[in-house]
């Protein structure tokens, strides 16, 4: 029997009465694995009301006590990692090793959030003036919302949830309706950890709930990860309703190879960077820039061959489940159509299709949304293929005559999420990390992945807010600075 998911509001599982239901499918098979309610405004209002009621008492709890249920949650998540990873893989399609890695990163954020007794401390200036001291207090803000994407249904919500509650706020999460079961599973773990009712809430739904959350007068801040087109809309709505926001958008991440790079390591690294999660990562590389003609010839030859060897399969097939590099499906038939249409447009604009993954088939999984690795060469900077965030296993390879030209290609692109350089030259590496306009820089690292103790976020059209996710940045986002100036006269 197909499970019908429920909302988690005010510490209880509640059916979204009257809401339409949407089928959730396994993208590897096309089969329906759950039904998710498309909640209405009244359901969101219930969650906001619960969060607002819970806020005052939760904010008044000593910070160490607020961390106690988080510590229990981290332990439960470690204990339950394999089960959660399988739920994630089943509904999202990434490999089991990728799902396990995602869970580890989610847990790391819980661990970092538990440092709140240290990181949330304020500042004191003794002697701001004669007999006057100044103090900065970091205090909780109120009620926050999260609108999460489909590609990291565990990690991305945990860029936000543990920091919000550790700092004394209450929160609600709207998971992607494409992958709601992972967050429902994690909410079942949170339900066992002793959070007071209303501190953490999960409301399922589609665009209507997201829009209502971004406009709701009872919500003080919002975190969103998605397309840049929607980022603009969310950021504008948050500004109109005086919400603080973290709004993170699209990407076209570049890998730059210099002639002195260790090519054996480079090709292996490029393959995992480009095709992990079928290219559906905000930090996946999708553009390779080769500096020099000899570098270009070697990278094209070796990368195309290595791409042919990537195994495309149902990641839950026992024959491949634990292999480190298995590429599963893209998330939906709609996503697959968009990728195929973009490949066709790339051919029409004159790029050379060096490897075509459109006809890949996985025996026994004819209902799945599979594409094979696809590689274009002779791609012009700024062309449709280069400009578009395809969000699939499609890689474009460009030429550059020098490091200056390669950096220029990156800096002229509207997106600036991540960029990496392969080289053994320290001088070139230093120039790259200072001059390339991207928020996440890698040196001999294909994916400059988010590290929980450090901030995460891009530049340019990849981000529509000032404060990034994770690390100390998260503590700034979820607290207000209250400045106290005080003086006492002698009795």
Fold assignment, 253-443 = Aldehyde Dehydrogenase; Chain A, domain 2 (3.40.309)
Catalytic residue among 114, 274, 282, 290: 282
Q: What is the largest CA-CA distance in the chain?
A: 87
Query: Per the structure block, which two tokens stand in for 346?
Result: 């790339």
- Comparing 3-249+463-485 with 253-443, is the CATH topology the same? no
CB-based contact 398:288 (threshold 8 Å): yes
Query: Per the structure block, which two tokens stand in for 413?
Result: 């692109």
pLDDT in single tens digits along all 491 residues of the chain: 789 999 999 999 999 999 999 999 999 999 999 999 999 999 999 999 999 999 999 999 999 999 999 999 999 999 999 999 999 999 999 999 999 999 999 999 999 999 999 999 999 999 999 999 999 999 999 999 999 999 999 999 999 999 999 999 999 999 999 999 999 999 999 999 999 999 999 999 999 999 999 999 999 999 999 999 999 999 999 999 999 999 999 999 999 999 999 999 999 999 999 999 999 999 999 999 999 999 999 999 999 999 999 999 999 999 999 888 899 999 999 999 999 999 999 999 999 999 999 999 999 999 999 999 999 999 999 999 999 999 999 999 999 999 999 999 999 999 999 999 999 999 999 999 999 999 999 999 998 988 999 999 999 999 998 889 999 999 999 999 999 999 999 98
Is the pTM of the predicted complex or chain greater than 0.75? yes
Dist. CA 174–CA 44, nearest whole Å: 10
Alpha-carbon distance values, 364 to 86, 320, 340 (Å): 20, 14, 22
Class of domain 3-249+463-485: alpha beta
Going from N- to C-terminal start, the domains of the chain cover 3-249+463-485, 253-443
Residues in the chain: 491
Active site residue 274: no
Tokens 């332990």 sit on residue = 75
């Amino acid at each position: 029997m197909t499970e019908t998911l429920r909302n988690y509001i005010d510490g209880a599982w509640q059916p979204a009465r009257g809401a339409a239901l949407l089928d959730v499918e396994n993208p590897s098979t096309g089969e329906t694995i759950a039904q998710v309610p498309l909640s209405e405004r009244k359901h969101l209002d219930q969650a906001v009301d619960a969060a607002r009621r819970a806020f005052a008492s939760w904010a008044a709890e000593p910070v160490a006590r607020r961390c106690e249920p988080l510590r229990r949650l981290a332990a439960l998540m470690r204990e339950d990692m394999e089960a959660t990873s399988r739920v994630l893989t089943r509904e999202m399609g990434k490999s089991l090793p990728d799902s396990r890695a995602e869970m580890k990163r989610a847990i790391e954020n819980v661990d970092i959030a538990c440092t709140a007794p240290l990181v949330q401390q304020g500042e004191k200036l003794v002697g701001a003036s004669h007999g006057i001291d100044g103090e900065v207090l970091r205090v909780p803000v109120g009620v926050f919302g999260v609108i999460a994407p489909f590609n990291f249904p565990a990690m991305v919500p945990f860029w936000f949830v543990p920091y919000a509650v550790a700092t004394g706020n209450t929160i609600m999460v709207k998971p992607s309706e494409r992958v709601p079961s992972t967050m429902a599973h994690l909410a079942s773990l949170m339900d066992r950890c002793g959070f007071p009712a209303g501190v953490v809430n999960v409301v399922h739904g589609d665009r209507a709930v997201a829009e209502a959350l971004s406009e709701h007068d009872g919500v003080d801040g919002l975190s969103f990860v998605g397309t840049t087109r929607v980022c603009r809309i969310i950021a504008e709505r948050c500004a109109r309703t005086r919400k603080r926001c973290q709004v993170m958008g699209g990407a076209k991440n570049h890998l730059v190879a210099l002639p002195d790079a260790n090519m054996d390591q480079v090709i292996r690294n490029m393959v995992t960077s480009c095709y992990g999660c079928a290219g559906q990562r905000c930090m996946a590389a999708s553009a390779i820039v080769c500096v020099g003609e000899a570098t270009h010839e070697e990278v094209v030859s070796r990368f195309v061959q290595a791409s042919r060897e990537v195994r495309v399969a149902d990641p839950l097939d026992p024959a491949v489940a634990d292999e480190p590099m298995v590429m599963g499906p893209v998330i939906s038939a709609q996503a697959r159509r968009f990728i195929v249409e973009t490949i066709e447009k790339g051919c029409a604009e004159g790029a050379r299709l060096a490897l075509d993954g459109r006809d890949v088939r996985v025996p026994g999984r004819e209902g799945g949304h599979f594409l094979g690795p696809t590689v274009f060469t002779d791609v012009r900077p700024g062309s449709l293929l280069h400009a578009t965030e395809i969000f699939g296993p499609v890689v474009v390879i460009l030429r550059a005559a020098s490091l200056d030209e390669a950096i220029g290609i990156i800096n002229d692109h509207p997106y600036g999420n991540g960029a990496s350089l392969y080289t053994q030259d320290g001088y070139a590496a230093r120039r790259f990390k200072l001059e390339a306009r991207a928020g996440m820089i890698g040196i001999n690292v294909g994916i400059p992945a988010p590290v929980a103790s450090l901030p995460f976020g891009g530049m340019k059209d990849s981000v529509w807010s000032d404060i990034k996710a994770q690390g100390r940045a998260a503590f700034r986002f979820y607290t207000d600075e209250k400045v106290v100036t005080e003086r006492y006269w002698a009795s």
